[in-house]
Amino acid sequence: MIGFDYGTSNCAVGVMDGNRPAILPLGDHGRYIASNLYAPSREVIVNWLYAQLPPAEQPAFKQQRTFALQKGQAEIKELALDGIAADLFFGRDALTHYLQEPDEGYYIKSPKSFLGASGLLPPQIELFEDIVAAMMSNVKSLTETALGRSVTRTVIGRPVNFQGLRGEESNRQALAILTRAAKRVGFKEVEFQFEPVAAGFEYEASLTKETRVLVVDIGGGTTDCSMLLMGPEQAAAQDRSRDLLSHSGERVGGNDFDIALALKGLMPVFGLNSSLKSGKAIPVNSYWQAVAINDINLQTEFYSAANGRFLQQLVRDAAEPELVKRLHTVQQHKLSYRVVNAAEQSKIALTEHASQQVDLSDIDDGLAVLLDRDGFGQACQRELSRITALMQDAITQSGTQPEVVFVTGGTARSPVLSQFLQQQFPHTPIVIGDHFGSVTAGLTRWANTIYS
């Protein structure tokens, strides 16, 4: 049995090592594998997955995906004529392949972000299920190699609310996709636990007395808050329902910080905030579409032929056409992920450094942008305010004040975030947990509790 953090940004797996959880190394990826996938063509994902499935799962899958498998097989033959293997890549390998040829192949980052999306058609749901299953199959295989045995039971982390806007309907859709994918690749028992609750379980192991803890999990796609009653006595109980005082969660996470920094920190050198020859402000819609990598509809609009023609006209109408040409280059060569990845890497670098030079010379010769912490904080004011509102919502629901605020998630590393939260809660201790490992460790503890 394992704790499985199928995260928006990273995936990780934990097992119990005596009385403590241990996060497994996943081959060359280390303890964390980035939640992304690259395929030479979207159509071949289903064929790769079919070949990895347990034999008992293959007949039903083949019947359900007959047309998709046939289409993928035809695509495999076309790729073979060009000497391209129909392989899938994950983690750093996926990003490397994408950056080598951004306008070739199929790259997706953070598919978990889309699972609760409104308006998904059945073929889109099947595609996301196959993408999730392919990623889970890869992680499961790496896990079993590391352990030297098969794994059939798991607890998977889930946000309080997935990224859809339809409340429980979105949650049901996302959980159904995750459950079908997990069982398809060979997990026979699948349970879920709220990610902030899991992070709280790990923090609880350090407590020596009963404590009211507001857990804030700033994940890649969502921020989730749980007010928990925790301590040694509570940790010994299997039924924790009375200890979970409140929950709140919303679609705001590390990806939104990356997108905000890309929009407000990088897009000005692509023409954002510039003017038309007429003196009017340049339209901003395409700039937002360009960086909105977690919105299927906006990305589809940005890469449409109609938007390509619009951007060509915008170049002609711009007072500084050389800037807008860069946006057109992003559109022509499918560089949205390239731009947002540059913002993400800068966000990470700003954890240790006060400023960071961003090299964008592959988009335009000599292009570089200097970003700093103050600019990052200004770019992300909306996201920071939304996180504060979620924390206050959890406090209000619980009818009590926290004695400790425990913060986890990759973005929790940022000094900008830490300073902001301390300003909002000046009289409450703020503890920064293992930025990536708290949720995985807590899921592992819960798996050990319910499956033992």
Q: Considering the chain, what percentage of its residues have pLDDT values greater than 70?
A: 99
Q: Report which of residues 342 and 202 the model is more confident about.
A: 342
Fold (CATH) for 210-252+383-435: Nucleotidyltransferase; domain 5 (3.30.420)
Distance (Å, whole) CA 70 – CA 74:
6
Per-residue pLDDT, averaged over 6-20, amounts to: 92
Per-residue pLDDT at 234 exceeds 70: yes
For residue 253, what pLDDT band results from cuts at 50, 70 and 90? Answer: confident
**CA–CA gap between residue 249 and residue 169 (Å, rounded):** 15
Cross-strand pairs, 217: 224, 408
Cα 98 to chain center, whole Å? 17
- Mean pLDDT (whole number) for 288-315: 94
Q: What is the DSSP string of 63-94?
A: HHTHHHHHHHHHHHHHHHHTT-----EEHHHH
Q: How confident is the model at residue 163 (pLDDT cuts 50, 70, 90)?
A: low
Query: 113 falls in which pLDDT band (50, 70, 90)?
Result: confident
How confident is the model over 84-94, as pLDDT tens digits? 999 999 999 99
Mean pLDDT check: name the lowest of 15-24, 69-78, 157-166.
157-166
Pinpoint the alpha helices (H) of 216-261: 232-235, 254-261
Q: Higher model confidence: residue 78 or residue 435? A: 78
Over residues 423-450, the mean pLDDT reads 88
Q: What DSSP string runs through 266-283?
A: IGGGGTTT-BBTTSSBPP
Between residues 50 and 410, which one has the greater pLDDT? 50
Pick the residue with more confidence: 65 or 435? Answer: 65
Q: How confident is the model at residue 49 (pLDDT cuts 50, 70, 90)?
A: very high
Please give the full DSSP string across 282-345, using - where no structure is assigned.
Answer: PP-HHHHHHH-TT-HHHHHHHTSHHHHHHHHHHHHHBSSHHHHHHHHHHHHHT-HHHHHHHHHH
Write phi, then psi, for 368 (nearest 5 degrees): -150, 150
How distant, in Å, are the alpha carbons of 84, 111, 112, 319 from that of 87? 9, 19, 22, 45
Q: Is the pLDDT of residue 258 over 80?
A: yes
**pLDDT for res 435:** 66
Report the candidate in 37, 4, 7, 41 with the shortest Cα–Cα distance to residue 23: 4
Q: CB–CB of 323/266 below 8 Å? A: no
3-state helix, strand, coil in the chain (%, to 5): 55, 20, 30
Under 8 Å between Cβ of 423 and 161: no
Question: For the whole model, what pTM was predicted?
Answer: 0.81
Calculate the alpha carbon distances from 211 to 125, 203, 390 in Å. 42, 11, 20
For residue 325, pLDDT over 60 is answered with yes
Q: Where exactly does CATH 3.30.420.40 map onto the chain?
A: 2-195, 210-252+383-435
Residue type, 404: V
Query: For the residues of 5-65, what is the DSSP string, one character each?
Result: EE-SSEEEEEEEETTEEEEPP-GGGTT-EESEEEES-GGGHHHHHHHHS-GGGHHHHHHHT
Q: What is the pLDDT of residues 338-395, one digit of tens each?
A: 999 999 999 999 999 999 999 999 999 999 999 999 999 999 999 999 999 999 999 9
Give the helix/strand (H/E) hosting 383: helix 381-398
Give me the amino acid identity at 271. G
Q: What's the rounded mean pLDDT across residues 257-285? A: 96
Place of tokens 């395409």: 286
2-195 placed in CATH 3.40.50.2300: no
Quick one: pLDDT at residue 414? 86
Q: Does 165 score more than 70 pLDDT?
A: no
pLDDT category at 316 given cuts 50, 70, 90 is very high
The rounded mean pLDDT for the chain is 92
Q: Determine the Cα–Cα distance for residues 257 and 318; give it in Å rounded to an integer.
A: 29
Between 223 and 315, residue with greater pLDDT: 315
